[in-house]
Amino acid sequence: MTTQKLSELAKTIRSKNAGVNKITFDVIFRDRENYERVKRSGALTRESMARLYRIPAERISDFVEYDPGYAIKFTIYRLRPSGCAGDGDIFGAQQYAPLLDLEVAA
């Protein structure tokens, strides 16, 4: 079975604060075909994201397939609000990297 990395299929893969206590992740596709393919593949689900980031599924507050934007997005709770001493990413902007190499079945 051939697989491709998510970074080859998606136009945008990003993370950013959604309020002070959550980080939201957006995976956006240029066209319906790639969007539907990733949806079908089961590679990007609430459960697979909990595994990838090694967190309990309850820490994922939302998981949404957003058809108008050809996008899949999910949101996780931070352990402590942004900007507490020790927070390495106050804006939450560099948390998406593990998604880039996510393997997606054809």
Q: Does 28 bind another protein (CB under 8 A)?
A: yes
Answer yes or no: are the C-beta atoms of 23 and 98 closer than 8 Å.
no
In the bound complex, what is the minimum distance in angstroms from residue 23's beta carbon to another protein? 9
DSSP string, 92-104: -TT--HHHHT-EE
Of 1-9, 12-20, 39-47, which segment contacts another protein by CB under 8 A? 12-20
Alpha-carbon distance 49 to 54, whole Å?
8
User: 41 or 75, CB closer to another protein?
Assistant: 75
Cα 102 to chain centroid, rounded? 10
Which residues are near another protein by CB under 8 A? 11-12, 16-22, 24, 26, 28, 30, 52-55, 61-62, 64, 66, 68-71, 73, 75-77, 79-91, 94-95, 97-98
